[in-house]
Amino acid sequence: MRLALVCQGMQENQERVFSFGRTSCLPKPNQYVKMLVGEYRDFAFDESRAPQNRGLWRQEIFKTDANCPLDLEIGTGNGFHFGHYASKNKDRCLVGIELKFKPLIQSIRRPLRVGLKNARIVRFDAKEIEKLFADQELNNVMIHFPDPWELGPQWKHRLISDEFLKKIHSIQRSGSFVEFKTDSANYFRWTLERFVRSEYQIECVTTHLHQSRLVQGNFVTAFEDIFMRKGLRIHYIKVIKN
């Protein structure tokens, strides 16, 4: 009874995270929940532990110096891009954010299985990003295929907003980029409008990534492959913090 009351109070204070169920309050944790708090504890952080790393990611978690690049992928999904990025950028640290337990574990497994130690994963709501990183703690940010929430009444749930971009901008270091991909033309236009009026500088934009010069350096994510097979265009934006 006491645990239920505690969880209820915590839910009232952090509604967004708990709409997916707080890890410590799940009545019947599955194998992936158990892995998050057990086997992968040193590399995966639930929504209670993750904020404790704010301002300490380089020094305490990755055991590196203050100049080592620290990048972020928001919404890792099954982790194919997450693992690829960690492998191709061994001199950089990588944090991933994912809410669902199974893809969260799948994501961190990929770099660990090939002996990489430069990646960590957290379970958290990206809209509260300022609770995870201090000002100018981050370098590059990658946001691939977030839920577009296509219906008008649902737009309030979209990740990209003026407020969110201000948060990201403040926690990034100068010279860092934000990379955004979507299959939704509507969400693309929405996002581009907000990037244009933000403090970022637009570096490149395309409504058809795979028919542009940018395709040469592009890694096709799992969602991207699905959308391409359906004949959908991939929309892409890259901006820079001066």
> pLDDT tens for residues 11-57?
444 434 444 578 988 888 999 999 999 999 999 999 999 999 999 99
Radius of gyration over every alpha carbon of the chain, rounded to an integer in angstroms = 18
State residue 193's pLDDT score: 98
Could you write out the DSSP letters of every residue in 102-161? Answer: HHHHHHHHHHHHTT--SEEEE---GGGGGGTS-TT-B--EEEES-----SGGGGGG-S--
State residue 3's pLDDT score: 39
Per-residue pLDDT band at 1 (split at 50, 70, 90)? very low
Question: Phi/psi at 226 (nearest 5 deg)?
Answer: -60, -45
Output the pTM of the full model.
Answer: 0.91
State residue 17's pLDDT score: 43
Query: Whole-angstrom Cα distance, residue 74 to residue 130?
Result: 13
Mean of the per-residue pLDDT values of the chain: 92
Q: What is the per-residue pLDDT across 65-89, written as a single tens digit (0 to 9) for each?
A: 999 999 999 999 999 999 999 999 9
Residue 175 has pLDDT above 70, yes or no: yes
Residue 196 has pLDDT above 50, yes or no: yes
State residue 190's pLDDT score: 97
State residue 22's pLDDT score: 86
State residue 13's pLDDT score: 43
Average pLDDT of span 159-163? 97
Q: Which domains does the chain have, with CATH numbers?
A: 30-240 (3.40.50.150)
Among all residues, which ones are annotated catalytic? 147
State residue 20's pLDDT score: 57
Query: Whole-angstrom Cα distance, residue 3 to residue 24?
Result: 10
